Amino acid sequence: MAMKFDRPLYSLSSKAENDNAKALWEAESLGGMTEDNNRTPVPVVLLVILTVITAFLMTFPLWGQRPTAAIYAEYVKSMNSPEIMAMTDDTAAMAKIVQMNLGKQQPSKWNYDGLRERHPVTMDDMRMIKRQIEALMAKGVDLEDYTVVGNKVVFANFEGNFRADGTRERKQPWWDKGYTIDIFYLTAFFLGVTIVVKCLPSYKWQPKHNHDHSYESDHHL
Amino acid sequence: MLKYLFAKNEDIPAGSSALFFGFSAIVWFVIGTGLGSFNAAKLAFPDFVTGNEFFAFGHMRQVHVMAVIFGWISLAFAMAMMYITPALGNTKLWSEKLGLWNCMLWNVGLTLALTLLWAGVSSGREYSDFPWPIDLYIAFCIFIPLGVNVWMTVINRRTQGIYTTNWFFAAATFLVIIVFLVGNAPEFFHLTGLTEAYLTWWFAHNVLGLWITPVAAAIAYYTIPKITGNPLYSHRIGHLHFWSIVVFYSTPAAHHLMSAPLPEWLKSFASVEGVLILVPAIAFVSNILLTMQGKWHMFVENLETRFTITGILMAIPLNMQGGFQQTRAINWYVHATGWMVAHAHLALLGFSTFLEVAAVYFGMQTILKRKLYSLALGNIHFWLLLIGFTTYWVSMTIAGLIQGAGKIYEVPYIDVVIVEHPYMIARWLGGTMVFTGNVLWLYNMWMTAREGTVIPEGRMAHELAYER
């Protein structure tokens, strides 16, 4: 079936194909069932659009993405500073560490202040993950590949392939984890469904259900 | 029924396998909800039946879950497929004999599987609790024969087109086989860690999304136009519904693991898709409710329509919950609380059960050519199910919110348990009402088969519901 693009919003099928479909639609009994050819009502279309917009806004990574080891790397360095080591009160020491790193330019171009605010830690938390993060820093790996889960730092967040020179081919920013693939996926879906629906006779045509199909479904029982 | 197992296919009366599946489904519904009521009693009254490990909650909980999913729900689906698929193709079922063997193997296999589970032989993976030989049995002796019968009936139809319901039946029987074989891969190949966790929830999510949800919807696409006599409102919306189920329901498995150390991109992707399950829900609900135009009196007067429309109305809160509770913003609060238990029951005991009950009522009367023995018992069944389920759902939703608060504010666990007590009693009462309703239903359908008024040729059961 070749698609016609002369009136794409009306129908993608030729007149002959549409005429055949209409004749079949009205004549055929699908077990006594009939179907109308109504368009998707405008409020339903609007609801679908609202759903798509809400889906992206609602799942934005601001709302609860797991912390990576990278956001605590500077905290670990600060813990080794003489000023912090001299402090005996853990709460005050942690507050000082947070203050020392506020607004500081990170090795990654993303500012971690917001992420740290959403994933606050205590000195006890830091003591549990400090050595693991230091070991990873010594290995020179990308700390954004690693996730902090309780007292463990685990490899969980593959950020993309490396080039021969050791740099990443492409790394998603923190606000775009999984969204570009979603946009492609959604686009393909809505395009596909639109094509399928537009291959039907236009919604301006409605079948006439003059033929009585009521009892045909039960004839075999 | 058993005498037909060794008869020639052409000698088996049409509708035999649907009847076998239908009665089996109701019996499993009684067993499944009876187990549920028993388990709920153990949560409400911790001293109820102690001292025997076989009656411990940990042994019995998954027996209840699997009896309901693979006993009641899936057998009711099979029943619907056995009479609706041929009806929509103006033909006979491809093989009544295969249907009867399928049902027999289903009952035998499920009995064995649940006995093993009860004895503690379990994979330990929620929703795929059966050990791997049982998984293979379910795939090869239950779902593949079912699929073959459905596909061959569709292929041998005497119509040129295929009605919407049969798209869903044919696709869902194919998809559930894939879900079983891939989703249980951790057991076949001993996969562990995050891979096991992901595939466990891929399985659990897709049993719901690619089996239970689409087949339940397909049933409504049949029962509402059939009983009301109205044309389905929109063939076009049917396309949107079908393809959005396949595309959006198959991908959000990772949203069950939002707190796990899975890649963030995978969780974000799954979470967006999770909200987008509202797309098929919107399409389905609007299509069926618009089909009801001019026939809303049947929501009151007709038992099957009342069950179906109630189930469809439940799809609205179900999908609102399902779409949003998995997002990071809400999941941290409700995860691993009674909220989820309430949501799961809204899906299985609310939405899908109400649609299947309608299909079984309608199909049984059509095949038996007998009017329902007692409409009063049918009405009592409806209200016991609705009030019982609602009591359960509301009490567990409140209990879940309390548990969430207790979890976040680090309230001592035992204090939360004490506060939960009245809600656990309400849960037991609600579940027991559902069980009682199902016992009445079994009696009503048994009596329908034996003593229901014969329906004259050319009439339909629901047309005669109020005639003596």
From chain B, pick out residues whose CB is under 8 angstroms from the CB of A156.
194, 261-263
What pLDDT, on a 0 to 100 scale, did the predictor assign at position A62? Answer: 63
Percent of chain B, pLDDT > 90? 92
What pLDDT, on a 0 to 100 scale, did the predictor assign at position A213? Answer: 55
- Lowest mean pLDDT across B250-259, B318-327, B414-423: B250-259
Q: Which of A24, A37, A38 sits opposite B161 (nearest CB)?
A: A24
Asked if A220 lies within 8 A of B14 by C-beta distance, the reply is yes
Task: Say whether pLDDT at A191 is over 80.
Answer: yes
What's the Cα-to-Cα distance from B344 to each of B127, B151, B205, B220, B350, rounded to whole Å?
12, 30, 11, 20, 9
Give A3-51 pLDDT, tens digit per residue.
Answer: 888 888 788 888 999 999 999 999 988 988 999 999 999 999 999 999 9
From chain B, pick out residues whose CB is under 8 angstroms from the CB of A218.
87, 366, 460
Task: Say whether pLDDT at B89 is over 70.
Answer: yes
Q: Which of B248, B265, B270 sits opposite A172 (nearest CB)?
A: B265
In chain B, the largest separation of any two C-alpha atoms, in whole Å, equals: 67
Q: Does A205 touch chain B (CB under 8 A)?
A: no
Asked if A215 lies within 8 A of B283 by C-beta distance, the reply is no
Mean pLDDT of B390-400: 98
Task: Say whether pLDDT at A216 is over 70.
Answer: no
Nearest-Cα residue of chain A relative to residue B331: A64
Q: Does A27 touch chain B (CB under 8 A)?
A: no
Q: Does A195 touch chain B (CB under 8 A)?
A: no
Strands A152-155 and A146-149: antiparallel
Mean pLDDT of B260-273: 89
3-state DSSP call for residue A175? helix
Inter-axis angle of helices B164-183 and B213-228, nearest 10:
160
What's the pLDDT band for A106 if we cut at 50, 70, 90? low
Task: Say whether pLDDT at B435 is over 90.
Answer: yes
Asked if B258 lies within 8 A of A64 by C-beta distance, the reply is yes
Asked if B271 lies within 8 A of A51 by C-beta distance, the reply is no
The secondary structure of residue A56, as a DSSP letter, is H
Nearest CA-CA distance, residue B11 and chain A, Å = 13
Please state, rounded to an integer, the average pLDDT across all residues of chain A: 87
Task: Say whether pLDDT at A2 is over 80.
Answer: no
Please state, rounded to an integer, the average pLDDT across all residues of chain B: 95
Nearest CA-CA distance, residue A56 and chain B, Å = 6
Q: Does A211 touch chain B (CB under 8 A)?
A: no
d(CA A116, CA A111): 10
**Who contacts B101 (Cβ-Cβ below 8 Å, separation ≥6)?**
B5, B145
Mean pLDDT of B405-430: 95
Q: Which of B234, B264, B276 sits opposite A51 (nearest CB)?
A: B276
What's the pLDDT band for B353 if we cut at 50, 70, 90? very high
Q: Does A202 touch chain B (CB under 8 A)?
A: no
Q: Which of A30, A44, A157 sits opposite B88 (nearest CB)?
A: A30
Nearest-Cα residue of chain B relative to residue A149: B261
Is residue A72 within 8 Å of residue A133, measured between CB atoms? yes
A52-55 — which CB contacts under 8 Å span 24+ positions?
A52/A186, A52/B276, A52/B279, A54/B275, A55/B271, A55/B272, A55/B273, A55/B274, A55/B275, A55/B276
Give B168-227 pLDDT, tens digit per residue.
Answer: 999 999 999 999 999 999 999 999 998 999 999 999 999 999 999 999 999 999 999 999
Mean pLDDT of B61-76: 97
User: Greater confidence, B382 or B265?
Assistant: B382
Q: Does B394 touch chain A (CB under 8 A)?
A: no
Q: Does B268 touch chain A (CB under 8 A)?
A: yes
What pLDDT, on a 0 to 100 scale, did the predictor assign at position A157? Answer: 80
Asked if B264 lies within 8 A of A54 by C-beta distance, the reply is no
Q: Which of B84, B159, B272 sits opposite A56 (nearest CB)?
A: B272
**Who contacts B466 (Cβ-Cβ below 8 Å, separation ≥6)?**
B301, B375
B293-302 — which CB contacts under 8 Å span 24+ positions?
B293/B230, B293/B233, B294/B230, B295/B228, B295/B229, B295/B230, B298/B227, B298/B228, B301/B465, B301/B466, B302/B227, B302/B462, B302/B465
Q: Does B229 touch chain A (CB under 8 A)?
A: yes
User: Greater confidence, B26 or B409?
Assistant: B26
Is residue B242 within 8 Å of residue A153, measured between CB atoms? no
pTM reported for the whole predicted model: 0.92
Task: Say whether pLDDT at A175 is over 80.
Answer: no
Task: Say whether pLDDT at A102 is over 70.
Answer: yes
Give B49-68 pLDDT, tens digit per residue.
Answer: 999 999 999 999 999 999 99
What pLDDT, on a 0 to 100 scale, did the predictor assign at position B443? Answer: 98
Nearest-Cα residue of chain A relative to residue B263: A157
Q: Does A209 touch chain B (CB under 8 A)?
A: yes
Is residue A204 within 8 Å of residue A19, measured between CB atoms? no
C-alpha Rg value of chain B to the nearest Å: 22
Percent of chain A, pLDDT > 90? 55
The dihedral over CA atoms of B125, B126, B127, B129, expressed in degrees to the nearest 10, equals 40
Q: How many residues make up chain B in this entry? A: 468
ipTM of the complex: 0.90
Inter-axis angle of helices B16-44 and B74-88, nearest 10:
150
Task: Say whether pLDDT at B10 is over 60.
Answer: yes
What pLDDT, on a 0 to 100 scale, did the predictor assign at position B325? Answer: 95
Q: Which of A63, A65, A185 sits opposite B264 (nearest CB)?
A: A65
Q: Does B408 touch chain A (CB under 8 A)?
A: no
Nearest CA-CA distance, residue B250 and chain A, Å = 12
Q: Does B450 touch chain A (CB under 8 A)?
A: no
What pLDDT, on a 0 to 100 scale, did the predictor assign at position B402? Answer: 97
What pLDDT, on a 0 to 100 scale, did the predictor assign at position A110? Answer: 65
Choose among A59, A77, A63, A85: nearest CA to A143.
Answer: A77
d(CA B82, CA A138): 65
Asked if A179 lies within 8 A of B233 by C-beta distance, the reply is no
What pLDDT, on a 0 to 100 scale, did the predictor assign at position A212? Answer: 58
Asked if B89 lies within 8 A of A31 by C-beta distance, the reply is yes
Task: Say whether pLDDT at A196 is over 90.
Answer: yes
What pLDDT, on a 0 to 100 scale, did the predictor assign at position A5? Answer: 82
Give B144-178 pLDDT, tens digit per residue.
Answer: 999 999 999 999 999 999 999 999 999 999 999 99
Q: How many residues make up chain A in this entry? A: 221
What pLDDT, on a 0 to 100 scale, did the predictor assign at position B468? Answer: 61
Residue B240, token pair as written in the block: 């949107």
Give B 340-379 residues with CB within 8 A of chain A: 366-367, 369
Q: Does B266 touch chain A (CB under 8 A)?
A: yes
Half-sphere exposure of residue B245: CA atoms within 13 angstroms, side-chain side: 27
